Homo-oligomer: A and B are copies of this chain.
Amino acid sequence: MDQSIIDASMHILIHSGDARRETYRAVEAMERSDFTEATALLDAADGCIRQAHQVHTTLIQQEADGEQLAYAALFSHAQDTLMTAYSELRLVRRLLPVFRSQDERIRALETALKTVPQTRSE
């Protein structure tokens, strides 16, 4: 395997792994209804993806410029890791408003119910 392919693959794998970790931390923040923190973590994940993407795009560009890239299962694996990590990030970013909307409605109900007299104490 070409050393530059190994280096590129490792670079992509590391930054994609970082992106995934930040995305999962964002989901944990969503569980605590901390949607501001979740958004900040998704932005951090975006930064990691951008770094991984840069290496990836450079290689795709080299190929488009006529350079025949040698096949390496490791690079294919790195591409997959980047694409799935990015996929998760984008999906979580879109799901966030759905959870936030439900969270706000539940919160409104919780607040409203506090003002209602109970028939019996529990």
Which residue numbers of A lie inside 8 Å of B, CB to CB? 1, 20, 24, 27-28, 30-31, 56, 59-60, 63-64, 66, 68-77, 79-81, 83-88, 90-92, 94-95, 97-99, 101-103, 105-106, 109-110, 112-113, 115-120, 122
The number of times this chain is found in the oligomer is 3
Asked if A119 and B109 make an inter-chain contact with CB atoms under 8 angstroms apart, the answer reads no
Asked if A64 and B74 make an inter-chain contact with CB atoms under 8 angstroms apart, the answer reads yes
Given contacts A27-B95, A59-B73, A77-B83, 18 further A-B contacts (CB under 8 A): A24-B90, A24-B94, A28-B94, A56-B77, A60-B73, A63-B74, A80-B83, A81-B83, A87-B87, A91-B92, A95-B95, A99-B102, A102-B102, A106-B109, A109-B113, A113-B116, A115-B122, A117-B117
B residues less than 8 Å from A99 (CB atoms):
98, 102
